[in-house]
Amino acid sequence: MSRVPRWFPVVLFATAFLVRLAPVLRGGGVRGLLGYDDGVYFGAADALWSGRLPYRDFLLLHPPGILLVLAPFAGLAHAVDDPTGFAAARMMFMALGAVNAVLAYRVAARLSTAAGVAAGLLYAVWEPAMYAERTTLLEPLVNLGLLAALLNLGDVTRASKRQLRVAGVVLGAALAVKLWAVVPLLVLAVWVCRRRGFRDAGVFAASAAASASAVCLPFFLAAPGAMFRMVVIDQLGRPNNGVFTLARLADAAGIGTARETITVLAAVALLAVATVAATIVLRAAPTARVWVALLAAQGTLLLTAPSYYRHYGTYLAPALALIVGAAIAVGVRTAVAYAPRLQPALALIAVVAFLALASAGQRHTSGRPVPTGRIDAALSSAHCVTADSSAVLAVTNVLTRDLRRGCPVAIDFTGATYDRSPDRLPDGRPSVARRADPVWQRYMRASLRAADTVLLAQRPADGLTTATRRWLTHGRRAYADDTIAVYVRREQSGRDEPGGR
């Protein structure tokens, strides 16, 4: 394959950014409700900007790195308004996803130009990557750290000490965002050790440890017991949320569906593609064998972790894009060598496949719009507002206002389940488990009793029992639609609080 034009990375970046933005614009918009977790991290960053510390003052079930990334946008929310800060943060994460696609291209291009182009385009339009990188989630930052580390290491036998340190630093920073980054960190440390020896592996590992410690240590010193419990113990104690192996594989393939037959076919297809591509890479590209090790290790974690959610599938995207891109390049080179006339047909197939993958990622819209005008009127006289999602508080522009007023803000409304009574939670759907957890129901009532207005948007997935919901919404319903219900609560007395669960 001839050398690609110098402007190709710019086109790749723009393509990746636009395919992440388009479903959001067709759905809820960058100021709409796109999920639950993105609001947790933005709300936590806003709370930090307001002087509240994670672990000490509010629940956070992950390392604090995401808060530092989002802190400038929390500052923008304080300077302008919450929806503007939240929208800017989401746009930045879409740009991070586009950067990841360019990094995948550059990492694979060290193998061959064709491998780089294929890997970059695959990452740009792979549905799990597009889905996770449309808003403020942890996984885009983990992928960024891994791809940046791989780019710095390059041919590890020739990497300088400085490159080893930089690779360790960026992957350590990813570890300070989500603990799942420890798996690629260990794989790369073993790779460096095998190719360079214990001393250089120590340089790499020490750099990663220093980077992660620089981010985490100040927060740990402020609340050592609480941080360790939330970030480590609570995560290890999570129950299985009922998403089993075939469904996880189908989701990682970008074909998540409720139909059992399609799920099985998608899972088998992903396994077949990954196996064939890995075999080709192992035989034809020895310097890229670490990508296969990464896919195997990360895939094992993804399939065996107790809990799984849709955006977790992007965890495999870097290794999968690199391996499949390299295998495609090897296959094309071999085919053209034996039959040069096939080159136009292969180019046409590649274009059609790329367009099919890009279209598949656009088949759904993302999120729900929020009718802010009518909700603003319903909230105009509220002093403290609570909600079953921090994202709801942000898109309705009351998050920063509540924090400034010293109101109780439940940053991770449902995440408290894993911290308050993890031993009580059975396997299965979390919302069902929460409804059977009286400790969590009482905690929610105690945490939210000071608010005079309640917003509910996660109905019924929030897991509140009928009794708790009735107590929280005791008063006048000021507004309701298919997205959000607003309740202005009357003063509660001790006898109003329901017993049991």
Phi, then psi, of 428 in degrees rounded to 5 = 125, -170
Same domain, yes or no: 377 and 438:
yes
pLDDT at residue 178 is higher than 90: yes
Contact criterion met (CB below 8 Å) for 391 and 135: no
In a domain, 477, yes or no: yes
The letter for the amino acid at 163 is Q
pLDDT at residue 412 is higher than 50: yes
**Euclidean distance between CA atoms 99 and 415, whole angstroms:** 30
Same domain, yes or no: 379 and 469:
yes
Q: Quick one: pLDDT band at residue 140, thresholds 50, 70, 90?
A: very high
Same domain, yes or no: 314 and 191:
yes
**Euclidean distance between CA atoms 492 and 164, whole angstroms:** 60
Q: Which tokens hold the place of 336?
A: 């053209």
In a domain, 501, yes or no: no
In a domain, 166, yes or no: yes
Same domain, yes or no: 107 and 213:
yes
pLDDT tens per residue across span 249-294: 888 887 766 567 777 888 888 888 889 889 999 988 888 999 999 9
Query: What sign results for the dihedral spanned by CA atoms 409, 411, 415, 419?
Result: negative
pLDDT tens per residue across span 53-93: 999 999 999 999 999 999 999 999 999 999 999 999 999 99
Res 241: pLDDT: 83
In a domain, 242, yes or no: yes
Residue 47 has, within 13 A of its CA and on its CB side, a CA count of 27
Query: Which percentage of the chain shows pLDDT scores above 90?
Result: 54
Q: Strands 453-456 and 475-480: what pairing? A: unpaired
Domain count for the chain, please give it: 2
Per-residue b or e along 435-445, where b marks 16 or more CB atoms closer than 10 Å to that residue's CB: bebeebbbbbb
In a domain, 149, yes or no: yes
Range of the domain at 457: 372-496
pTM of the complete model: 0.92
As a 3-state breakdown, the chain gives helix, strand, coil percent values, each rounded to 5, of 70, 5, 30
